[in-house]
Chain A
Amino acid sequence: MRSLPVAARLYVGLVVLSALAVLAAGPYSGIEPVTLVLLAVLFLVAESISTMVDNGGGEGDRTGISPSSSAALAAVVLTGPVGAAVVGFCSVLVVLRRQNLVKRFFNGAQFALAGYAAGHAYLLLGGRMGVPDRDDFPWIVLPYTAAILVHTAVNGALIAGLLRCLGVLQLRRPGRMRWRPVVGLELASLGYAMLGLLIAAIWDLVGLFAVLLVLLPLFIARWAFYQYVAEQHAHDATLATLAQAVETKDYYTRGHCMRVSKASGMIAQELGLSAERVRNVRYAGMLHDIGKLGVPTKVLQKSGGLTEEEFAAIQLHPMRGYEIVREIGFLDEALAGIMHHHEKMNGRGYPMGLAGEDIPECARIVSVADVFDCITSTRSYRKARSVEEAVAELRRCAGEQFDPRMVEALVRAVERDGWDPPVDIEPPDDGADVAQQDHDDPSVPLRVAGEGDR
């Protein structure tokens, strides 16, 4: 509480006070106490098992959906606005989540107000408090849907208000909102909310057993979501580790794939791509050099000019990488990124010599991130250079080699979020050969014997 800004404190106080006022005002007539208690218990259980749904943006971009909305909306139908407010306020009692008291009070008040508003919306559109009759169907769906919408809207508005007071949320331009995950999430919570009507409808018929039967699919769905999230993490960890394992041979390029992945993700996010595409671009960055494994080590580490054949072998590495990963189904766009990350805007890159807009967007992003990391890292033949120098170098080559849009996006993202260049690694002391040139380095192009620079 001490760390909260004044605005946020005022806001939380206001919300909690209005919820308390609603609860105090009543009226409580016509509400069955047993029903109310059972609903409150149901709400508490459901709230305690809130589900985490990964909506594709990686860490910190998760939204919890909780089956508790079904209990809250069942309360709207069975006990009206005031009962719904009481049930919602019970989330103060959720102790499983180990949140502090302020947070719990805010949550309780927020659910209470949302339930109250939804209850009034339901009554306003002709809904009737109590167990719905057979004659009420199907038209009860209309006020009920209105109640769902109001419930969601009030909840969302109250949370958005808090985030704004905390300064976490900046209003985004609508064009950059990621709509797809939001829509998916809304559909999922709509499914949960519809369940509330089921609970209300069969409340009289089978009483508490209804609650058990209703909760079962929900528990299972939640379990499956957990499995899914765990498996997703395991997959990402494995992918990252294996991609890194490939570059263990060269001490200087260690961690290169992870940093390129990060920088590519930053550019993609700055450009406002969808969460799914950002993820794909990250994968492309991580796997872009995996084909280097098909290039003999002695060619990669050769000092001095390369023969035509050796240069051709290096030029082949994007294709090799594509061959390795093309069987991975989810990569689709990333595949193009891997294959074309050495194309240049002027058409003089490899392997295909594509130019301008013909180069897939993903590849143009990875290409910029790749070179940016190369310049800001130490190589055996030179020290790391600063971010400013790297930016200057990228701008110099923009238009010719890089897409200026990607370069500027990277510059903006780095200015805002900063960039951690790799720490200098002591070169290995076992007299091993280390690379004397880097195919990514634009300032020291590969030397091909008898042809000058490339």
Chain B
Amino acid sequence: MAQGARSPLRGRGGPTRIDPVRMWVIAAAVVCGLGALVWTLAAGFADTQVALAFGVLIAVGELVRITLPGRRETAPIASAGAIGYALLADIGGRPVHHSAEQVVAVVALGLALGELPHIAVGRGPRWSDLSRRLLTAVALAAAFRPFADLLSPAPRDWWLTLAVMIALVLAAWCVDAALAALIRAERVGTRISVALRDEFRAQFGIGMAIGATGILISLACTATGLVGLLVFIAPLLVTQVAFRRFADIRLTYLQTVRALSRVTEVGGYVEAGHSRRVSELATAIGCELGMRESELRELEYAALMHDIGQLSLRDPIASGATVLAAPREQRRIAELGSAIIRETGVLDPVAELVRRQCEGCEGDGAAGPPPLGSRIIKVANAFDDLVGESVDPDRGEAVLERLRMDSGGEYDPEVVEAAARALHRARPRW
């Protein structure tokens, strides 16, 4: 976070809102976990060794959890372990008889144990994601455990067992993704359909890997006994490493663009914190207008770098406020910036957004109206240029009013209204 940068999106709009769906999910997880634990303690653990082995696996998996792009926390190994334990029918030929409640209790204990070191060093979990991990296990165990004895993978009709397992895991995964989408829609203020699609896209790869490994574990334990757990988690570890590296470089990329977009500020071309504020406002508007996650990322990059063309100017324009510069000058800055970004060879869509950021909402010439991202940046930039460092809410209102008056010609009325909504939303962060 840039120090001293005032964000138009924070510190407004009254008390922190409580997201009901998220609260319900967490409450459900806590109730299920505690209830199952008490029940199992009263009834006694069946097959203690097996429970212990899976509990340890889940704890270790939770310990090495990763965070995917979009601040999605996931613990592939813990989840695969939970699926494996829920679907387990026998160990090396000896049937196991643990109840659904025991599955939930073991998973809850494992997750809690694995989470303790994280909490101890102050890296607490995202509670909603942790709750979803437990709830997936609850759903799977409740659906499979009562029929586990019937579905023991006998050599003859193994395909039936396999089909049931795959169907159950797919169903559980869909429910999980839907829950995640609801929570996300609530948090960032986007449409549920958009959030659902984003969630499915983001979780598809790792979800498949987790599901396949979970099923494999339960099958492998039939053939090899508990040692299968150790050996067969290795491939998922490889997958997890790959995802972790990807998430790291994603984050680094964002940090780099953020930091380097600040060169215009250090160079005195624009006010301190301008790029950061414009990008935050632009992303919020994009969310309001139901943009997809990949589009939001391009929008964020474009908004961060929208003034980078000024680097090629000999003298900074007065206080860097491009909204006050002559249209011809604005266009030149946009062209120069777009040329710089295009030079990277990997950010062409971003360059296009930057190039067309100063066109009116009808666009000029034959190219038609500029892309939505460009129109959003235009509004966000104008808002920040006109409000500047001021924290006075009335000034913000006045500027919005001015943008509304301009509507139809320069600024897209729909985007201005979305900006007004975004600015009025309070955004709790956790």
**Residues of chain A whose beta carbon lies under 8 Å from any beta carbon of chain B:** 132, 134, 137-138, 141, 188, 190-192, 194-195, 197-198, 201-202, 204-206, 209-210, 213-214, 216-218, 220-225, 227-228, 231-235, 237-246, 248-249, 290-291, 293-294, 296-297, 320, 323-330, 432
Contact = CB atoms under 8 A, between A and B. Distances in A.
A242 B260 contact: yes
B220 A228 contact: no
A215 B206 CA distance: 14
A138 B225 contact: yes
B258 interface: yes
A189 B267 CA distance: 48
A224 B346 contact: no
A242 B251 CA distance: 17
| 7 interchain residue pairs of minimum CB distance | A224-B242, A138-B227, A234-B346, A191-B234, A221-B239, A228-B246, A293-B267
Contacts of A201: 220, 223-224, 228
B342 to A, nearest CB: 9
Contact of B236 (A217, A233, A329): A217
B344 A241 contact: yes
A198 to B, nearest CB: 5
Contacts of B232: 194-195, 198
B180 interface: no
A304 to B, nearest CB: 20
Contacts of A137: 92, 224-225, 227-228
A127 to B, nearest CB: 15
Nearest to A237: B344
A334 to B, nearest CB: 12
8 contacts: A138-B227, A209-B159, A217-B239, A221-B235, A221-B242, A231-B249, A242-B260, A297-B315
Given A205-B219, A233-B346, A224 B246 contact: yes
B238 interface: yes
A238 B346 contact: yes
B222 interface: yes
Contacts of B246: 224-225, 227-228, 231
A56 B209 CA distance: 26
A144 to B, nearest CB: 9
B263 A238 contact: no
A300 to B, nearest CB: 12
B235 A291 contact: no
Contacts of B193: none
A138 B209 CA distance: 25
B255 A134 contact: no
Interface in B216-263: 216, 219-220, 222-225, 227-228, 231-232, 234-239, 241-243, 245-246, 248-253, 255-260, 262-263
A220 B239 contact: yes
Given A228-B242, A246-B311, A432-B314, A220 B209 contact: yes
B255 A328 contact: yes
B248 to A, nearest CB: 8
Contacts of A141: 227, 231
A134 B223 contact: yes
Contacts of A238: 253, 256-257, 344, 346-347
Given A223-B205, A235-B253, A238-B344, A191 B266 contact: no
B414 to A, nearest CB: 31
Contact of B224 (A134, A210, A241, A246): A134
Contact of A191 (B208, B224, B237): B237
Given A220-B205, A290-B263, A293-B267, A191 B255 contact: no
B266 A320 contact: yes
Nearest to B217: A198
B308 interface: yes
B343 interface: yes
Nearest to B94: A134
A206 B346 contact: no
Contacts of A241: 340-341, 343-344
Given A201-B220, A201-B223, A238-B347, A192 B256 contact: no
A206 B314 contact: no
A134 B208 contact: no
B220 A225 contact: no
A328 B263 contact: no
A324 B263 contact: yes
B266 A192 contact: no
Contact of B92 (A134, A210, A291, A328): A134
A224 B243 contact: yes
B234 A195 contact: yes
A206 B219 contact: yes
B172 interface: no
A213 B205 CA distance: 14
B266 A294 contact: yes
B215 interface: yes
Contact of A202 (B208, B220, B268): B220
A134 B253 contact: no
A210 B243 CA distance: 24
Contacts of B231: 141, 194, 197-198
B16 interface: no
Contacts of A290: 260, 263
Interface string B19-59: 00000000000000000000000000000000000000000
Given A191-B234, A205-B219, 18 more contacts: A132-B223, A134-B225, A191-B238, A216-B209, A218-B239, A224-B242, A234-B346, A239-B256, A241-B340, A242-B263, A248-B311, A293-B263, A293-B266, A296-B268, A320-B266, A327-B255, A327-B259, A329-B251
